A and B are shown apart, each in its own frame.
Chain A
Amino acid sequence: GEDVEQSLFLSVREGDSSVINCTYTDSSSTYLYWYKQEPGAGLQLLTYIFSNMDMKQDQRLTVLLNKKDKHLSLRIADTQTGDSAIYFCAGADTGRRALTFGSGTRLQVQP
């Protein structure tokens, strides 16, 4: 099945860009997702990218997909303290709706 890996921790200064990386194993995943989880809160769907796309931009968020290397990244421009959270990437095996999540990257934004 799908396996998803992420680095555990990222620290940036307010106003800088953040780049959170993710690698996955199932190259036939149709969609790949980014979720945000704040302390004590549920998962918030941030954005997703269809597998036939290389890039998707949504306001301060840019998702890049490198299918050859099975690498997904989320770039947050002008990072704010409110962006401090845990970010999860997720994908689904072919033909399945169950999402497989990475273990999450904790983003710490320093003022």
Chain B
Amino acid sequence: GAGVSQTPSNKVTEKGKYVELRCDPISGHTALYWYRQSLGQGPEFLIYFQGTGAADDSGLPNDRFFAVRPEGSVSTLKIQRTERGDSAVYLCASSLVGNNEQFFGPGTRLTVL
């Protein structure tokens, strides 16, 4: 079956620009997560949605980062006024509500020049 998909796979932008990253979770998974992975590090948690609402956004680094999931399926991670330090692979994962087995997408590699 289809796994988690993310688009685009690569995004290059200039410092100060706005970007949107999209995640399509596994069908039927009501929980959705965003993580960020810098080179040589493990993923770091950003935000978790249960349905349409953000149940835990404690990992968002600052108010330039925002995520939505308006219909409880697809989610968009939005980054305003990008900085070079935002360059990383942004990973999305989804799981069933009853457990925490998180299945990850291939990620979006964001490069801020």
Chain A residues, Cβ within 8 Å of B20: none
The stretch among B63-71, B73-81, B100-108 that forms the contact with chain A is B100-108
Question: What is the CA–CA distance of A35 and B104 in the complex, to the nearest angstrom?
Answer: 10
Chain B residues, Cβ within 8 Å of A103: 40-42
**Chain A interfacial positions (CB closer than 8 Å to B):** 4, 30-31, 33, 35, 41-45, 48, 88, 90, 92, 96-104
Instruction: Mark each residue of chain B from 87 to 102: 1 if its CB lies under 8 Å from any CB of chain A, else 0.
Output: 0000101010000111
B interface size (C-beta, 8 A): 26
Grouping DSSP codes into helix (H, G, I), strand (E, B) and loop, the A interface class, with mixed when no group exceeds half, is: strand
Assuming the contacts A96-B56, A97-B48, A98-B33, asked whether A43 and B101 have C-beta atoms less than 8 A apart, the reply is no
| Minimum Cβ distance to chain A for residue B2 (Å) | 13
Chain A residues, Cβ within 8 Å of B106: 41-42
Is B14 among interface residues, defined by CB-CB distance under 8 A?
no
Is B100 a contact partner of A104 (Cβ separation < 8 A)? Answer: no
